[in-house]
Structure 1
Amino acid sequence: MGIFARFQYFDHWTEEQRRECFARAKVIEFRPDQTIFVEGRSTVNYVHLVLSGQCAVLQCLKLIKVLGRSGKYRYSLADARPIGDEIAQFHGRKCSSMVELVQSTKQSNGTTPLSPGRTTPNNDCTPMDPSINYEFHFIDVATYSCGSVFGVGEHMDDRMVTARDRVQCLLIPRYWLLQKPQNVNNVWSRIRIFLEQRQPSRNKLFIWFLDELRWKKYRHQLKEDWASVHAAKNPTTFCNVPALCRIQQSDIFA
Structure 2
Amino acid sequence: MDQNERLLHASSFGAAAVEYAEHRPDYAQAAVRWALEPAPGLRVLDLGAGTGKLTATLVASGAEVIAVEPDPAMLAELRRSLPAVRALSGSAEAIPLPDASVDAVVAGNAMHWFDMAVAGPEIARVLAPGGVLAGLWNVLDDQVDWVAGLARISGTAAIGPRDTPASWRAETADMHLPKTDAPARFGSPEQATFPHGQRRTADSLVATLATRAGMIVMPDQQREASLGRIRDFLTGNPDTAEGEFTLPMLTSVLRVHRL
Q: Indicate whether the TM-score tops 0.5.
A: no
Q: Quick one: higher RCO (CA 8 Å, sep 6+), 1 or 2?
A: 1
Task: State the TM bucket, normalised to the shorter chain.
Answer: under 0.3
Tell me which structure has the larger Cα radius of gyration.
1
- Normalised by the size of structure 1, how large is the TM-score? 0.23
